[in-house]
Amino acid sequence: MSSNIEQPVSLIDLPPLPLAEWQSTYDTLHMWTQMAGKVALQQCPNINHYWGVAFQVTAYGLTTVPMPYGNFTFEIGFDFVDHKLVIATSRGDIRELKLEPQTVAEFYKKFMGALHELGIDVHIYTMPVEFPNPIRFDQDVVHASYDADAVGRFWQILQWSDAVFREFRAGFIGKASPVHFFWGSFDLAVTRFSGRPAPPRPGADAVTAEAYSHEVSSAGFWPGGSGVDGAAYYSYAAPEPPGFSQYKVQPAGPFYHPELHEFLLMYDDVRRSSLPKDHLMQFLQTTYDAAATLGKWDRQALERQVA
């Protein structure tokens, strides 16, 4: 007999994650994840919108998809429970690296060495992307912090947000991305598509042009930065329809950021709410409503109709 008892995703004590307290760790971890992501970029088929190289949330952290190499596959996972990086192959071989304070240059040397020991020789572009004042991985002796407690709290937020995002995604039957983690921008995201192509963006680079080749409503979570002092949930429409920035979204608290061109709901407002899941779901739904209604999406065809 199966049990009907479950732990609602809303019943959780979400931890604080002040940006200033873990910024140095955040920056270092960002560089480490980019190393794994750039390996995926080299090894994985080029799936639309770069979905094939994004990380997936697991029961212990983040992982790449299985990647082909010769006659076997391998994957790279960040274990934020035991704080280690795990490289595992389909041949049963495993290499582990401790996630602990060390320079990006040190970690890069160990990471590439572990791949080589497994018979995997991959050449990656060592310059970080989507990061201010980047330093090549093999030369970066500036970023060297790792606060395991802060990373654990970040991981707890990712787990919870992933579950809420997946529930939100289930209400849409049109084209939608998986819930996945982008190592370039260091955010967890889920994206809905209207089904229509978007007008080309003048001056867009190849990555941006591919990401926004079709009309989207996208939402996600990221630890902050770019003038936003703290972790936040975001939602935007691309292209942005007229009136989007003035649309009344719920609950109380979200605001439109004119430089980022997206609505933001600060993470601290969610975690302090008596019903954090409901708080976040209102934000996700009403910002999507803004994009779909003002953008004249065919909502009857794209959304799951509840009897």
Q: How confident is the model over 110-137, as a mean pLDDT?
A: 97
Name the pTM for this structure: 0.94
Residue 259: pLDDT above 60?
Answer: yes
List the Cα angle 157/175/282 in 5-degree steps.
45
Residue 240: pLDDT above 60?
Answer: yes
83's CB contacts (< 8 A; 6+ apart) are: 98, 99, 100, 146, 148, 151
pLDDT of res. 4: 45
pLDDT of res. 306: 75
pLDDT of res. 3: 42
Q: How confident is the model over 249-274, as a mean pLDDT?
A: 97
Tokens of 185: 């921008």
What's the rounded Cα separation, in Å, for the pair 59 and 219? 22
Q: How confident is the model over 296-301, as a mean pLDDT?
A: 97
SS3 category, 41: helix
Q: What is the pLDDT of residues 37-90, one digit of tens each?
A: 999 999 999 999 999 999 999 999 999 999 999 999 999 999 999 999 999 999
Tokens of 200: 């080309």
Alpha helix positions (H), 118-175: 148-169
